[in-house]
Structure 1
Amino acid sequence: MSSQKITADAAGTWKLGDLPVHRLGFGAMRLTGSAAFHHGTPGDRDRSIAVLRRAIDLGVNHIDTAAFYFSSLRSANELINSALSPYPDDLVVVTKVGPHRTYSGEWGTAARPDELRGQVEENLRQLGRDHLDVVNLRRMPSYDSVAEHFGALAELREAGLIRHLGVSNVTAGHLAEARAIAPVVCVQNRYAVDRPDPDGDALLRLCGELGIAFVPFYAVAGDAGEHGATTAHDEEVRAVARAHGASPAQIRIAWTLHQGPHVLAIPGTGNPGHLAENVAAGAIRLTDEERRRLDALRRKAR
């Protein structure tokens, strides 16, 4: 399909609390280069800044980022600040806390509850903001309960450093724990058309019933995860792509958005051409039969 003149509003809108966003957003992890979480060659700074500005031109008003998105010489938050500050009034920047990386790039132990304020303040400093629109608590394997960590973020929300809260990498039980402490506006979990996840569909539906945004990550990457978009597309995905004159990646995004009006997509890229294709995927309308075929693919992957 042609991506000319297709903007993010084609995907529709949802509210993160009181903040309206287009359902097709942008994930900032890939801006730092192919080695976002590893030592290696950083991405091109000028191209990354151009991608961010082009995203705004294409109507994107929801950017997902984190202070731990960096590689040698490149920080996603710093790039966002340099490219977009002063920020458009309608832009919602969502960040996350919990994981910890040293300045050399090594992963450390998960942040303790009393360390989360420092992570929030680091995001504020890097982004040049006096408050953060949305902060997701990324649940780490080292703790089963989210109550103490989420409670620490709720205190920062009451102090005015954070406007809204979300959770990431959680179960329905964790979501209930968090909601008992403070309002939750989004759940960010791994979710893709071809990825086995027995509980993911139920959590997605629960979020819809509660009016909470469900925001899949690695929806395009699939099993490739942080390494980028997968090339291992099932033949069903390829067949639907051919029918729409689209790429398999676009069909993966379109299928994600078709899971419910509360489902948001945050595909990331450091490539201007891929950015336009990702945004254009928000205009793809799958037929009922195509959805059934792709839904069956997900069931088969379990």
Structure 2
Amino acid sequence: MQTFPLGSFQVGRVGFGAMQLPGPGVFGPPRDREQALAVLRRVIELGINHIDTSQFYGPNVANELIREALHPYPADLALVSKVGARRDDVGAWLPAQQPDELRAGIEENLRTLDTDRLAVVNLRVHSGDPSVPAPLDPELFDRQLTAMIKARDEGLIGGVGLSAVGLDHLRFALNRTDIACVQNAYNLVDRSSQPVLDECTERGIAFVPFFPLGSGFFAENPVLGHPDVKREAERLRRTPAQIALAWTLSVAPNVLLIPGTSSVAHLEENTAVDFVTSV
């Protein structure tokens, strides 16, 4: 598998996202705990060394499953998390954007994963809709970056990442510190983050698209149902998901995928995307 730097790690370009391991709505326990643990163990067996997670997946559920399945962790495994949000008692997504909340989120991720250091932690800039970057608030963003940089300098995280940001956020952050990765919504249908991706490509920064197969929060999926995707899937005898993932990989060499699933079969399909598609 091709690799690309992610902070101090060299990771395969196809990783794994843990968002689908908790229950419906990324809230509560998984439907099948043993299956969730089997998926995580199969991740390592397949040679995947990049897992994306967060304490607010569950909350705590995804991290605790990762710890149970994989601890002690392989030395080359890049565990990446994110901060900037929290969940209430009924599963609503709420902002947690103040510097002390970011620090608490980092520490909670470390505790629930039972590790002293995370490869990267992404600062999720909260706008209510994760696919739409919030407007840049320079004063708040500067204080947020200070908290993230402090955590890195203290050795709690290996690198600072950004999530759900615009080009102005990225350039502002790069004037203060190195950025290990950017995690934004991006797929065949939604390319609104193309300017951010282009900047990352030019600067050699990993770009990690979420929703590469379209958002699972909507009943109809415009990516997997796209006519070109369905045509290529039939022509190449692949699944629509494989076509969409392969297309995303082909966009730029710094793109790292983190498709998520709670199925071992789908996990194995998602890793078999090392081919060229003309979509």
Partner-residue secondary structure (3-state), 2:182: strand
Cα separation, partners in 2 of 1:31 and 1:134, compared to 1, 3 Å: same
1:245 to 216, 219, 237: 237
Q: CA separation in 1, counterparts of 2:118 and 2:226?
A: 39
Contact 1:100–1:111 under 8 Å retained in 2: no
TM-score, scaled to structure 2: 0.91
Aligned to 1:300: none
Q: CA deviation at 1:172?
A: 1.0
Cα separation, partners in 2 of 1:229 and 1:49, compared to 1, 3 Å: farther
Contact 2:83–2:121 under 8 Å retained in 1: yes
1:84 to 70, 94, 106: 70
Partner-residue secondary structure (3-state), 1:162: coil
Q: CA separation in 2, counterparts of 1:269 and 1:169?
A: 21
| Aligned residue-pair number | 269
Contact 2:8–2:158 under 8 Å retained in 1: no
Q: CA separation in 1, counterparts of 2:169 and 2:226?
A: 32
Q: CA deviation at 1:196?
A: 5.3
Q: CA deviation at 1:29?
A: 0.4
2:48 to 56, 60, 63: 60
Partner-residue secondary structure (3-state), 1:258: helix
Contact 1:241–1:247 under 8 Å retained in 2: yes
Percentage identity across aligned positions? 44
Aligned to 1:158: 153
Cα separation, partners in 2 of 1:130 and 1:229, compared to 1, 3 Å: farther
Contact 2:246–2:275 under 8 Å retained in 1: yes
Q: Which moved more, 1:245-254 or 1:140-149?
A: 140-149
Aligned to 2:116: 130
Aligned to 1:6: none
2:275 to 276, 284, 287: 284
Contact 2:95–2:126 under 8 Å retained in 1: no
TM-score, scaled to structure 1: 0.84
Partner-residue secondary structure (3-state), 1:108: strand
Q: CA deviation at 1:206?
A: 1.1
Question: Is 1:205 matched with 2:198?
Answer: yes
Q: CA deviation at 1:15?
A: 0.5
Question: Is 1:230 matched with 2:184?
Answer: no
Structure 1 residue ranges without an equivalent (≥5)? 1-8, 295-302
Q: CA deviation at 1:177?
A: 1.3
1:135-146 equivalences in 2 (<5 Å): 135-141=121-127, 144-145=136-137, 146=141
Structure 2 residue ranges without an equivalent (≥5)? 128-133
Deviation digits for residues 15-58 of structure 1 (CA, Å, limit 9, x no counterpart): 01221000000000001133314x7x732111000000001101
Cα separation, partners in 2 of 1:135 and 1:54, compared to 1, 3 Å: same
